[in-house]
Amino acid sequence: MLALRRTSAKISNLNSNFTHQLRSYASSRQQLVILGTGWGGFALLKNIDKRKYDVVVVSPRNHFLFTPLLPSTTVGTLEFRSIIDPIRNHGFRDEKHFHLAEAEDIEFKRKIISCRSALQPSLTYELKYNKLAICVGAVPNTFGVPGVYEHAYFLKEIADARAIRHRILRNFELSTESVIKDGDRKRLLHTVIVGGGPTGVEFGAELYDFIIQDVAKIFPSLQNMVHVTLVESREILPSFDDRLRAHAEKKIGKRERMKLLRGTVAEVNHDGIKLTDGTNIQCGLTVWSAGLAPRELTTRLDLPKTKQGQVIVDNYLHTIKQDVEGVYALGDCSYLQSTPLPCTAQVAEREGKYLAKVLSSSQSAPKPFFFKSLGMLAYVGEQDSLTDLPYVKWQGFKSWILWHLAYTTRLGSWRLRMQVPIDWFKTFIYGRDISRF
């Protein structure tokens, strides 16, 4: 009995010591606030040592979006939920550590963030931080062209893809009505894509596949009226190898229902676009994918920025402002002073992983950030992709296979790695789901 009491006392002492250590460890944790759930913020959240930090995330969306496959959702090749990963599934210590809100301003001297709820805009509050990672990304750049916000569709978020899908199916259903004149049908079934970057080209590719694979079966009488125009003032896919870019242009040029038009948009209106040379192009859908601009928060911050509005950071992704400590910026909203980098998902993700390693490490002198591109992929339609790797330049079917394999392995969770191939398989066997809801 005495031995049992002694054993019980030892266990009690061990529990007491362990609890004391946990409390001491918890009290030493700093609060790291991450603004944004894009590629940079998500990579930082997944890789940071949560034993060292209380990680708080502020974002107007509660999921990570796998943007390379976003164009595939616009026509039903993939379903929307197959490319989003819920943020709350990634290890928050407290459910209150995620805020579905927008950061409106930051006071760097007081280390205070002013937030506004994304669910109830009248609800505002402040958050404190010890370290801050600004990963708010960017917004579509309209270049001041009149009518873009009012009449064009962007392709940057799941809501954008849903709106485009809704509009495409609306135009097809409306075109089947007997009271609609042929001229109006041709306008409704004409889609104009402004911008020849990867997003614009891949959306055009997905839409063209939908036309030749599904429209021919479901809307046979409308097939000859459907048309896609890709408008670009310069080269398409400018960051790709010249030979691969030429292959993409040749591919588009051979298509009967799609064409590449060189020009600059002067205005977007309710039934089409107007070019700077005076040409009017009527269409039922205009998708704007012509570049990026800084968010309002980024432009408002009292930090050194470029002419384009990006926060300038040093080789450790820290702001270069002397009297501001513990503030980092990464992804599309940042500009690496020593080596300017492209605004891509690959750059943002690598920056997020790097910052997580730096903040989790006890080293006083970390290595500076270094980026080497792993390569680029782009789908151009009809089971044809471009693969631009450091030592491999592929096109065609084998590149298309690699495109599928690469993106499947890059998806953030095993759930998505199951859902995306299943969606591809369903589309291959049964065609795309054209339900409008």
3-state SS track over 176-232: CCCCCCHHHHHHHCEEEEECCCHHHHHHHHHHHHHHHHHHHHHCHHHHHHCEEEEEE
Q: Which domains does the chain have, with CATH numbers?
A: 21-140+293-360 (3.50.50.100), 148-290+375-430 (3.50.50.100)
* Two tokens, residue 123: 């609800």
What are the pLDDT digits (tens) for 180-191?
999 999 999 999
Question: Residue 190: which residues within 8 A CB-CB, separation 6 or more?
Answer: 226, 227, 228, 229, 281, 282, 283, 284, 285
d(CA 252, CA 49): 47
DSSP alpha helix (H) spans, 89-157: 148-151
* Reported pTM: 0.91
12, pLDDT greater than 80: no
Average of per-residue pLDDT across 218-247: 96
pLDDT exceeding 70 applies to what percent of the chain?
94
Q: For residue 412, what is the DSSP state?
A: S
Using one digit for the tens of pLDDT, what is the confidence trace for 21-54? 434 445 579 999 999 999 999 999 999 999 999 9
